[in-house]
Amino acid sequence: MTGSHTVMDWERGARTGVPEVVFAQSKTEAQLRDIVAAHQSRNLPLLLTRLTDAHLAALSDLSVAFDALARTGVLNAPEMPARAPRLGIVSAGTSDLPVALEAFHTARFLGLDAELFPDLGVAGLWRLQDRLEEVAAFPLLIAVAGMEGALFSVLAGLVRAPVIAVPTSVGYGVSEGGKAALSSALASCAPGIVTVNIDNGFGAAAAARKFLTLSDPQSEG
């Protein structure tokens, strides 16, 4: 229990394979400070997501590693397991980077050896082609794209690995809000794509953790 506002699910990691992660967006500074203090008292790791600019300014005195672009904070980062599963994260454009970084930090927090490949969108297909050999070496990929979401189909048509598609709300006109990218991911003719909700980098990384550790239980830290 943290104050009178939050009941932490301390056993969630043992029960589900993914520990409770705190969605910060609608929480107050006082609530977040209590949550951090509760984890510090137990010497446990904590991941905060969707921190606001006000949170980042108000909580800067805490021993938390913040990434302002990803809007994440990590306390007591877990050590990477010796046999950490590998995960590739490919983002289409620089504007998609906040969501891709949320996926990256979540994956690292959950014990995955994640590598980020930014700005490989298909508007300049040569960028993906130049890195394709590296990208194709991963057993699982997360693809992050807004606008028309073409990266999902293109990537899944070039690699053996399954692809977790993360549509982002980057775009305007018919692409505004991520609906076009979501439809593109769901309607793709390239097999092997699964899709999470718009801007859900955390959800993609959590799914990747389950996929990778269930396929190789000895890799769990």
Q: Residue 107 — very low, low, confident or very high, per pLDDT cuts 50/70/90?
A: very high
Question: For 124-153, what is the mean pLDDT?
Answer: 94
Asked if the model's pLDDT at residue 13 lies above 80, the reply is: no
pLDDT at 58 over 70: yes
Q: Where are the domains of the chain?
A: 12-75, 86-219
pLDDT band at 90 (very low <50, low <70, confident <90, very high): very high
- pLDDT value, residue 12: 82
Residue 2 pLDDT exceeds 80:
no
Token pair 């996926």 in the structure block, residue:
103
Query: Which of the four pLDDT bands, split at 50, 70 and 90, describes residue 52?
Result: very high
Average pLDDT, the chain: 91
Confidence of residue 74 (pLDDT cuts 50, 70, 90): very high
Q: What topology is assigned to 86-219 in CATH?
A: Rossmann fold (3.40.50)
Q: 49 and 72 in contact (C-beta within 8 Å)? A: yes
Residue 220: its pLDDT value, please?
Answer: 58
Task: Mark 37-68 as b/e (b = at least 16 C-beta within 10 Å).
Answer: ebbeeeeebbbbbbbeeebbebbeebebebbe
- Rounded Cα distance, 133 and 80, in Å: 25
Confidence of residue 217 (pLDDT cuts 50, 70, 90): low
Report the range of poorest mean pLDDT among 1-5, 78-82, 177-181, 202-206. Answer: 1-5
Sheet of 46-49: strand order equals 22-23, 46-49, 72-75, 65-67
Residue 219: per-residue pLDDT: 57
Specify the 3-state DSSP secondary structure of 202.
helix
User: 105 pLDDT exceeds 80?
Assistant: yes
Q: Token pair 């018919």 is at which residue?
A: 174
CA–CA gap between residue 153 and residue 219 (Å, rounded): 29
When pLDDT is averaged across residues 31-46 and rounded to a whole number, the result is 91
Confidence at residue 78, expressed as pLDDT on a 0 to 100 scale: 86
* Spatial separation of the C-alpha atoms in residues 157 and 125, rounded to whole Å: 13
